[in-house]
Every structure is written in structure tokens, then in C-alpha cells.
Structure 1
Amino acid sequence: MNRVYIKTYGCQMNERDSEQVASSLRDRGYSIVDNEHDADVVLLNTCSVRDQAEQKAIGKAGYLKKRKVENPNFLLGVMGCMAQNRGSELIDRLPDLDLVVGTQKFHRVPDHLDNLIQSMNGQGPRPSSIVDLAEEAGSQNTIRDHIGKQGQVSAYVSIMQGCNMNCAFCIVPKTRGRERARPIEEIVDEVTGLAESGVKEVTLLGQIVTSYGRRDFPVVGGKSPFVQLLEKINDIRGIERIRFTSPHPRGFKQDLVEAYRDLPKLCEYVHLPLQAGCNKTLRAMNRPYTKERYLEIVESLRKVVPHMYFSTDIIVGFPGETEEDFDESAKFFEEIGYDMAYVFKYSIRTGTPAEVMPDQIPTEEKERRNQVLLDILHKSSLKRNESLLGTTQQVLVEGPAKKGDKFTGKTRGFRTAIFDADERLIGQLVDLKVDRATVSSLYGDIELAGVER
């Protein structure tokens, strides 16, 4: 009864939370398996950003409950954002669920599984199900352990939890709670340990990562707590690259812009959520900036790093978005020239202001607008990649590619590279001479003097 399979839906935050649960379970004596069919316990770590994500998880749970007919001791749990959002309603819809755990209770999963298994073994009364959704002070500090896979090159590091924004479309403040930051020293210790284990690249995570510590820690020398943290991580021996996600445009004050100029390990790649390129739509979304301010941020970053890479989040079909509004947004999207983007069709989230807004957009129109932006993105991404033909790009070798006998890695600009290499180079920084480019990938030969590929 100790084999656990964890399936993760959604963002990097969810991936990091799942890794923490896996690490905690291993410390308790559980075995983490890679196949749900080999597991005695299946845990679904869920997402609530869009309805489709919730429906996928609910469908998966409905499918898995059939195993209880064959094996009454099989345990099924739902964790994370959907658990927090829907709560006990999930038990009403899926009465065979054994465990529902919210976003501030991941560290309690081993205790809950222990109790369920002991009760099945006759060591106590068996609860019909366990639902644990309460807030818990200090829960942000429990996401700190890593599985430590052999040859791990990069790692996610959670630096805060929660969100204090009130975007009209977003359920995250409900599912993740208010902003709560981890101490700088604890994060530095975690990253130092990762570096000592061979990790070369870290990605700092937070719902609004640039808001890190703004209510908890002082500004020092004109630098925000987030920039202070970046500086300390930049000084850690063994760490070669730093990334972060997801920020908010209002977090890009001059100190953060200058960090891209001054910190050599901070990669010249910015994920800068736009959501809409029309001021009318931005106001309806309750986003506290204009497209003009957003463009100022982009230009300030390109001033310190002319070849800066940009990705974004953008929503099409927000309630009340007219065709003229969308055309304005699409024009701005094209003007920025993103290298990558997550284009979302607006999805109603129960309990958000946008749910009851008039002039909801038909599905067919959202599909059309979605495709318009994808076509623009295709052109801008291909243009950027083709501009790299003949150049030499630094690549961090991650491991074998999914297909063929090639290897893969990322450039500092977060472009995927495919090339011939050897396992000895995993975790190494190499120079790649780019000789072919597609929309999504760069291809070429590594230039490594004295070492056979």
C-alpha cells in the first residue's frame, strides 16, 4: 500500500508542489511510481485557471474510481487549486474520493495517507473521506524539498505563495490565498543545496513573483526584496542561470530593469503577462496598467538588453471585448513581437466578477480570435529564430531529446535547441552554432574544443 502516483495539471507552481509532496512521501517511506497502474494511491494535483483544466481532472478522477470496484483498498485523492476551489462539493460529485487537500495543506498529505492506510488495516475507524482545506500560517515555508533526481540540471524554487491582485477573470486569489513570502535566507540555503547537487539553473516561482516580500521585508539601497533575492542567488557558486515566473508588469521598477543589466546570471528572457492590448479591456479586467505603460516597460528592458526575449499571457474573448477592441489588442500584440505566448480563450470562473459581466463572447468568435493571435505569434517566433541563423548561442544541455538520438537544451533566451552530443555534456554550458531554425526550435552543432561530441 505504499506505491504513490502523482499526476499534475497546470502551471510550474503545481509541478513544484507535486515535487514537494513526492519528497515528503518518500521521507515517510512511500514509493513514488511513474505509472498509475502500478500505484496503490493516485493523487491528482489540479488546476483551476480554466474550466477545461478542472473538467480534465474531474474526468480523470471519475475514471480512476472504477479501480475501487476491483480493489477496495485503492486510494484516490485530489489536491491543489481545484480542491481548494470546489471543496466538499467534490465529495458530493465524486463520493469515492478518499482525500481532498487544499493549497496550504500539501505538507499534511503524508499524515492523511498514513491515517487512511492504518484505518484500512484495522488500526482505527476508517473515515469516509478526509477534506483538509483550511488556511495554515507558514505553509509557504513547507515547499522547500526536492526529490534530487540524478543528473538534474534545472529546478523550480517556490519563493512565495498567494496573490493580492483582484483581476476580474482570475480565481487564483481564492485558491491560493493572500501573498505570503519565505525568508530570503531560507531560499538562499535551498538554492545553495541545489547547486551543490549539480543544479545549474533555477526558476523562482510565485503567483506574482515580483511582489515577493514587499510587505514583509524592507527596501534596501533602493532595491526591492525581490531584487535583493536575485542578487544573493546570483552570488551562489555553481548556479549559472536564474529565471523567474510569473511576474506582474507593475513589478518592473527601475531596480528590476537594471538587474538585467547588472546580474550576469539573470537570463535575458522575460515572461511579462499582457492579458489584453486594449486599455478598455484592461480596465474591465481590473489590470492596473495601460498598454502605454506596458510598452514603456518593454522598451526599458530592451534598452538595457537590446536582444531581450519576451513571452506573455493574453486572453481573447473577455466579456465585452468588441471586434474593434480585439483588433487593437492584436495590433499591439504584433507590435511587441513576442518570442512565445500563452494565448487563452476566456473561460468563466465561478465567483469572479467577470462571470456576471454582460456581453459574453460566443465560443466560435473566441476560437477565431485565438487563431489570429497564434498566426501572429507564429510569424514573430519564426522571425526571431531565423535571426539566430549563423550565430553562436550558449546552451545548457538538459538531456536526450524526446525523439531520435539527439540531445536538447535551452538557450539563455529560453529557445529550445536540438543537437548531437554525448551524455557527458548533460548539465554543461556549451556553444551551439545555429544552422537551422523552425518556429519552436534551433538546430546546429556544438562548438567544444578538444571534446568529441
Structure 2
Amino acid sequence: MNTKKKVGFYTLGCKLNFSETSTIARSFKDEGFDRVDFNDPADIYVINTCSVTENADKRFKTIVKQAQKSNPDAFVVAVGCYAQLKPQELADVNGVDLVLGATEKFKITDYLNDLSKNDLGEVHSCEIEDADFYVGSYSIGDRTRAFLKVQDGCDYKCTYCTIPLARGISRSDTLDNVLKNAREISKQNIKEIVLTGVNIGDYGKGEFGNKKHEHTFYELVQALDEVEGIERLRISSIEPNLLKNETIDFVSKSETFVPHFHIPLQSGSNDILKAMRRRYMRELYVDRVEKIKQVMPHACIGVDVIVGFPGETEDHFLETYNFLSQLDISYLHVFTYSERANTVAASLDQVVPKNIRTKRSKMLRGLSAKKRRAFYESQIGATRKVLFESENKAGYIHGFTDNYVKVKTPWNPEFVNTLHNIELTKIDDDGLVRFDFINQQSA
């Protein structure tokens, strides 16, 4: 009979959270716990929270109820950004036993001597200034690709953002440790690594607020390109002012780094960018897109954009819409602005009504669909390398090309986690590129 305690994990938010959940899960395994699916009965449930969107906050209560449904006596722990920003709010949620802030989450097993349910959630939080050390993380076993954390925290002061309050100052892993983790991942038969962090272009700042860069992001990219056994490396999200020509040129010549960039814009209006305290104007953004397309015409470029920021008039929004419409980008991640406590933006005048925010968000999501379709159409006739994922979805297996075109083909378990050179021939009714394995070659 298995007497091991069981633990289930649920992750909200970004790739960085997924990498940290995976690292926390390994610490449980080292302590003799069995990891189970979050929907299965467990002794402990760990919820890694996010505070970037209002929706993520609201989902937390639903997830706690889901855990209680599986096992009403389970010990429920909240960690992550929301747990750092509003620990007492989470502790007050019915069923929550323990809330751990930014410095405590990686020591979670130290707090689990007594798994008795608490009448009130216990909080172990910190002042965010104390989060001045770095803990390396990577995700493994959760999906076909691995998320490798290389940096944490942020020194930027964007007026809408709570991440510096939730994660602290910018600090990085050592280059040696990043390379060690990458080699560990490569031994696990994982074909793709996604580099992740809060502000990865700022890579190189040491611990304890040391602003000196031991290495640059460009040097990180060069070093990772030399790691054997990794088929693909993907840069997740990087600020336009930190994406340098040398990095773009290097990626264009690399056999490992893929032609896919995700570059936050947030607004196409310089007035709004200034109000957001972003570190660039739209002209720099145009320059970055043009540089990428000059050396990699087939590159996929994703864009983050926020609608409904305080003071965003109809003219400002149309400026953003038209700017994005004319830009050679591939898709949008659209965020509807929501007020976050303790941010400068929350106290600004000229609040945009929520129905207007929703309307603008819908317009940009429509534009994103058009952009993605146009990008996919531009790739028809090309032969690209596809990495297939592990799920059977309605009789199909899905995968992504190196330049992030989503494809599907009839399910075949032999294709899971394998690379194939595929000629992109047809866009299906659901907007994905569909093909049959006829005259196709394994990579």
C-alpha cells in the first residue's frame, strides 16, 4: 500500500510561473511526495497565482473550490505574485491554509510539518525588498517544450504594472547555472527550450541589487547556442529597447534559435506610451520589426497591447489600431486594462468606461485574427520544421513550426515529441494548417 503523501499543482499566469511550479514540484518529490493531477484526490494542493489580470485574481476562488471538491480535508497552499501582493486576501478565502510570499515559495516543504486544516489561512510573506536573491527554475515533464528561467524581477516602473511589487528587483541566474540547467533539460529528450523571465533582455544583473551586468543577453544567447542536444531555443518575451541588432542578426544565422519574437508594445500612441512610462516610442518599435523582417522575412512577431489605459481617447485607440494594422506583425496578445492597487495608473484621471475597453479589446482581437491568417497564408508553399505535441485533440495531433505556425494532422502517437519537415499547403476551416503525411520527411 502506497503511504506517500500526494500533491497536486495548479499554475495561473505566465511561462515563468510554469517553470517555478515545476521546480517547486521537484522539491516535493525530493521530500518523498507523489505528484498527481490537480483534479485527482491529494493531501496537498499548491496553487501558483498570478496578478497580471483581473481575471486571474477571480479564478483563484474557483480553483480552491475545485481542490476542496477532490478532497475537502486537503491542505491548500497559495504561492506566486498574487500571494505576495495580497496575502491576507488569499488567506481569507475559505479552504486556504497557507500563503507564501516571494521569498518563501521555494522553501514550501519547510512549512509542511503539520497538514491539519487551519480555521484561518496562515501567511508567511515578506517585504518585496527582501526578494533580492535568485532561484533558478525550469519546467520538465509538463509539456513538450521546457521553460527555462534565466531572470527574475524588474527595475522598470511602468505605471500599470504590479510585477516589481510582486517579484522585486531585476536579478539573473549565473551563465554557468543557466547552461547547466539547459544541459539537464537536453538529457530529458526535450526538443525545445523557451527562455523565460520577467524582463529577460535585462539578463546579467547579479543578486542583491547589483546593477552591473556580469553577462549580456546577447552573450547568453551565444552561449546557449553551443549547448549540445537541444533542437530548438525560443526567446519568449523581450522589451523592444532591449532587443539589439546583434541578437537579431545572431538568431537569423542560428541553427537552434527559432525565428519567433514576442515583443511588448502596449500602445501605438506615443502619448499613451509616455503615460505608461514605457522606455521607447513607437518609432523604435517600427525599427525593431523592420530589422527582424529584413534579415528573417519569414519570422513570426507577436505583440502585447493594452487597451483602455486611463486617458486613452478614441483618437489614441485608433492611432494604435492603425499602427498595428500597417505593421508587419503576426498576432496580438490583447489585454484589457484593469486597475491594480498600488500602481500609479490606478490613481489617474480620465478613466475609460469598461464597456469602451471591452469594445476596443474586441476590435484588436479581430485584427489579431486577420494578422495571424495573413501570416499563415504567407507561409503556404514553404517547408518548415514542425515539433509535434503530446495531446490527442478530437483525432488530431498539433504542433508548431519553428516560426510558430500551428499545424495539425490526423492523430498518430508515433509523432509525439518528434520533428518533421512539413510543406505547408492548406489552411483548414479552423484556421490551422492541415496536412497529411504524404511525401513528408522526418527531420
Q: TM-score by structure 1 length? A: 0.89
Q: Deviations over 1:217-237 (max 9, x none)?
A: 9779xxx62111111111111
Alignment of structure 1 residues 70-219 onto 2, 5 Å: 71=73, 74-91=74-91, 93-94=92-93, 96-113=95-112, 115-117=113-115, 129-134=121-126, 139-144=133-138, 146-148=139-141, 153-214=144-205
Provide the alpha-carbon RMSD of the alignment: 2.6
Q: Deviations over 1:100-141 (max 9, x none)?
A: 01233222111212x223x78xxxxx8964422225667523
Report if aligned partners of 2:194, 2:236 keep a CA contact under 8 Å in 1: yes
Report if aligned partners of 1:36, 1:42 keep a CA contact under 8 Å in 2: no
- Counterpart CA distance in 2 for 1:396 and 1:217 is 38
Q: Which residue matches 1:28? A: 31
Alignment of structure 1 residues 362-377 onto 2, 5 Å: 362-377=353-368
- Counterpart CA distance in 2 for 1:11 and 1:450 is 34
Report if aligned partners of 1:102, 1:132 keep a CA contact under 8 Å in 2: yes
Q: Which residue matches 2:316? A: 325
Q: Deviations over 1:359-386 (max 9, x none)?
A: 1111111111111111211111111112
User: 1:409 deviation in Å?
Assistant: 1.3
Higher mean Cα deviation, 345-354 or 43-52?
43-52
Report if aligned partners of 2:102, 2:166 keep a CA contact under 8 Å in 1: yes
Report if aligned partners of 1:44, 1:78 keep a CA contact under 8 Å in 2: yes
- Counterpart CA distance in 1 for 2:225 and 2:362 is 39
Taking a change above 3 Å as real, the CA distance of residues 356 and 396 of structure 1, as seen in their structure-2 partners, is same
Q: Say whether 1:436 aligns with 2:439.
A: no
Report if aligned partners of 2:421, 2:441 keep a CA contact under 8 Å in 1: no
- Counterpart CA distance in 2 for 1:50 and 1:283 is 22
Q: Say whether 1:408 aligns with 2:391.
A: no
Report if aligned partners of 2:136, 2:150 keep a CA contact under 8 Å in 1: no
- Counterpart CA distance in 2 for 1:440 and 1:415 is 10
Report if aligned partners of 1:430, 1:446 keep a CA contact under 8 Å in 2: no
Q: Deviations over 1:218-264 (max 9, x none)?
A: 779xxx62111111111111111111222111101222222222322
- Counterpart CA distance in 2 for 1:447 and 1:189 is 40
Alignment of structure 1 residues 299-378 onto 2, 5 Å: 299-378=290-369
Equivalent position amino acid for 1:248 in 2: E
Report if aligned partners of 1:17, 1:106 keep a CA contact under 8 Å in 2: no
SS in 2 for 1:274: strand
Report if aligned partners of 2:12, 2:50 keep a CA contact under 8 Å in 1: yes
SS in 2 for 1:45: strand
Equivalent position amino acid for 1:313 in 2: D
Report if aligned partners of 2:136, 2:149 keep a CA contact under 8 Å in 1: no
Report if aligned partners of 2:385, 2:419 keep a CA contact under 8 Å in 1: yes
Q: Deviations over 1:122-172 (max 9, x none)?
A: xxxx8964422225667523425x5546xx642010011101111111110
Where does the alignment leave 5 or more consecutive residues of structure 2 unmatched? none
- Counterpart CA distance in 2 for 1:128 and 1:421 is 48
- Counterpart CA distance in 2 for 1:170 and 1:217 is 21
Q: Which residue matches 2:8? A: 5
How many residues get paired? 434
Higher mean Cα deviation, 356-365 or 253-262?
253-262
Report if aligned partners of 1:432, 1:447 keep a CA contact under 8 Å in 2: no
- Counterpart CA distance in 1 for 2:43 and 2:353 is 43
Q: Say whether 1:49 aligns with 2:52.
A: yes
Taking a change above 3 Å as real, the CA distance of residues 315 and 79 of structure 1, as seen in their structure-2 partners, is same
- Counterpart CA distance in 1 for 2:235 and 2:314 is 34
Report if aligned partners of 1:401, 1:418 keep a CA contact under 8 Å in 2: no
Report if aligned partners of 2:136, 2:173 keep a CA contact under 8 Å in 1: no
Report if aligned partners of 1:431, 1:446 keep a CA contact under 8 Å in 2: no
User: 1:2 deviation in Å?
Assistant: 1.4
Q: Deviations over 1:330-383 (max 9, x none)?
A: 001111143222101110001100001001111111111111111211111111
- Counterpart CA distance in 2 for 1:14 and 1:386 is 33
Report percent identity of matched pairs: 27
Where does the alignment leave 5 or more consecutive residues of structure 1 unmatched? 121-125
Report if aligned partners of 1:382, 1:440 keep a CA contact under 8 Å in 2: yes
SS in 1 for 2:265: coil
Taking a change above 3 Å as real, the CA distance of residues 294 and 147 of structure 1, as seen in their structure-2 partners, is closer
Q: Deviations over 1:366-415 (max 9, x none)?
A: 111111111211111111112222332211122344221x2221101112
Q: TM-score by structure 2 length? A: 0.91
Which of 58, 61, 70 is matched with 1:58 structurally?
61
